[in-house]
Amino acid sequence: MDSEQTLELLSTVRHEWMNRLQLISLYAALDPVKLEELYERYRKQADEESALVRLNVPQTSLVVIQANWEGRLTYTISTDQLAIDDARVAEMLDRLLKYTVEPIHVTFTDGLMVRVKGTLPEDAFTSADVYEQNVEITTFHIKEGK
């Protein structure tokens, strides 16, 4: 990730935190019960981001966190260790996000499971990476050593 991309990520995160603070302020004034629900949602997201960072795949983590904050990607972490080529996976996810407007979900398991709805760019993944594909969803499983 270059300096420009880093600044873009920081700008996105700052903007989203300002939105969150606005919601917190609104709920505190109007509905304290909903404030607790909001707090739990934000705490859970912070815990998920911490778990992602602990996987020690910094380039992939940055792509995932930014896309998640932008509402373009969701993710689940089902492992505490990950053996993937960080730079390759980050580049693949970045390219997938660039050419796909449909929902994307990434599951961190013994590798990386990526589910995408809709049409995909032809060169997003190799055919060897395709785990399952049907009319609505394509699933890729990336599993390899670092």
pLDDT value at position 16?
86
Q: Is 30 in contact with 24 (CB distance < 8 Å)?
A: no
CA 125 → CA 91, 114, 146, distances in Å?
11, 10, 18
Q: pLDDT confidence of 146, banded at 50, 70, 90?
A: very low
- Give per-residue pLDDT as tens, 58-106: 999 999 998 998 889 999 998 888 888 888 888 888 888 887 878 888 9
Residue 114 belongs to what domain range? 3-142
pTM for this prediction? 0.77
CATH code (residue 11): 3.30.565
Q: Mean pLDDT throughout 39-46? A: 90
Q: H/E element holding 142?
A: strand 137-142
User: How many domains is the chain built from?
Assistant: 1
